[in-house]
Amino acid sequence: MLKPKVLFLCTGNSCRTQMAEGFLREIAGEQFEAISAGAEITSALDPEAVAAMWELGIDISGHQPKKVDPLLRERVSYLVTLCDRQIERTCPIFPGAIWRLTWPIEDPSSARTPDEHRVLVRRARDEIRQRVAEFVEANT
């Protein structure tokens, strides 16, 4: 039996979606196929996202940012956008998604200082962890 595919999508695929992918794998194990991508691509993971996940014992350091374009023709069971209002302008139409969820989580890249960025990443991490746990509970 095929596992339901969950695609986490945001603008850059360097922070929020990477954390969501890591949490889904950690919380749900092999029950879902977790992938993440960005409407636009960044060159590297956000080091604060890697550090924040490591604080909880989850290693996402091997993840790579990916652009959503190669995935547009794939069927996914769940398309989860982790976005603020910005992505509405850049988010592609994803015809292969069966269910669409929007988790409006503040983008930590909006921070003005490194300390604020650190706080926003951890706030996003904690919100994503709760939403992923609720998602798994509701869909298994």
Annotated catalytic sites, by residue?
A: 10, 83, 91
Interacting residues of 137 by C-beta distance below 8 A, sequence separation 6+: none
CA distances for 6 relative to 75, 77, 116, angstroms: 10, 6, 30
5 conformational bin, left if phi > 0, alpha if psi -120 to 50, beta if neither: beta
CB atoms near residue 26 (< 10 Å): 18
- Residues pairing with 8 in the sheet: 36, 80
Please give the helix or strand (H or E) that residue 34 lies within, else none: strand 33-38
DSSP state of 84: -
The angle, 0 to 180 degrees and rounded to 10, between the axes of the packed helices 47-54 and 114-139 is: 60
